[in-house]
Amino acid sequence: MNESLNPGFTLNALEAAAALVHDAMPATPQYAWPTLADAVSADVWVKHENHTPTGAFKVRGGITFMHWLRQTHPACRGVVTATRGNHGQSQARAAAACGLSATIVVPRGNAREKNAAMRAFGATLVEHGDDFDEARQEAAGIAAKEDLFLVPPFHPALVTGVASYALELFRAVDHIDTLYVPIGCGSGICGVIAARDALGLDTEIVGVVSDAAPAAGRAFHSGKAESTDSAHTFADGMAVRTVVPEALAIYRRGASRIIEVSDDNVAEAMRMYFRHTHNVAEGAGAAPLAGLMQEQERQRGRRVAVILCGGNVDTDIFRTVLSGSTPSP
């Protein structure tokens, strides 16, 4: 049995967070698609976080973070945060449900359809900078100037909410040998690790990053909070230049390894999802399957799970992918 990597992520705490999530949305399914299993030569289960009310796993953390915020900062009148889209939709939706304003900062050239979704959930959208990390700096400035609560990309209240999908998966599917999960700022992989350890399971967790945004993988090996000069990948959920130290402390101890995949690998995984399941996966959502494909021989005949963490991909990008090409970042 694994020891908890963080005493705050007890089974009781995770179950309490899951109850909050399930009061606001149903559990998502996990399916074993037979032709996908044939294609990768493994008993593969897909956790469909593309089936949430925002089309991505982040909605869970928004629910639990906003609950924490209302309990600890009752005078708060609004929030501000930075995102490439899914985190922003989550925060905008949860803030609106609590009667709070939400200002969301995205980099210039962000996905148009994600931007539209955030506005539809009630957010005030601000475009700033060339990437997520520059947008994050602008969000901090807005928080100070406008007296808004700055929602970080990583926080225990986010992780406990996100962990609810892992509790659902581990309780629905027995004896998962390996689970592949993408890494952006780290709430997803940390939530999976927290749930695995709280349940006392021995599933190995493999993080997947883009080879164009490899900071988390480098930090996993060095033990230092690494940064890169750029993160030019069309898989925007993984397009992060700077590692979050609090997340690194958890996944460096709790993950078995972190592997890199290319944009070509991700595009092919998106096509495989559509071909074998007729589900739409965004780039980060397809990255775990790309990682499994890379390690196909290693996982042959084993029971494996992949997290399809979101399906929010712009139409023109998905059209390019289905045509057999790889979109430009």
Q: Which residue has the higher pLDDT, 42 or 133?
A: 42
pLDDT bin (cut points 50, 70, 90) of residue 231 is very high
The CA-based dihedral angle spanning residues 184, 190, 196, 199, taken in that order and rounded to the nearest 10 degrees: -140
User: Which pTM does this prediction carry?
Assistant: 0.95
Domains belonging to the chain, first-starting first, are 11-56+156-322 (3.40.50.1100), 58-150 (3.40.50.1100)
- Match 């705490």 to its residue by tokens: 13
pLDDT bin (cut points 50, 70, 90) of residue 7 is low
Mean pLDDT for the chain overall: 95
C-alpha closest to that of 181 among 283, 31, 285? 285
The CA-based dihedral angle spanning residues 243, 199, 47, 313, taken in that order and rounded to the nearest 10 degrees: -20
Other Cβ atoms less than 10 A from the Cβ of 172: the count is 12
Q: What is the pLDDT of residue 8?
A: 75
pLDDT at 4 over 60: no
- Match 């005030």 to its residue by tokens: 124
Calpha distance 166→168 (Å, rounded): 5
pLDDT at 3 over 70: no
Q: What is the pLDDT of residue 2?
A: 34
- What amino acid occupies position 326? T
pLDDT at 115 over 50: yes
CA dist 283 to 67, 184, 261, 280, Å?
A: 30, 12, 11, 10
Report pLDDT digits (tens) over 214-227. 999 999 999 999 99
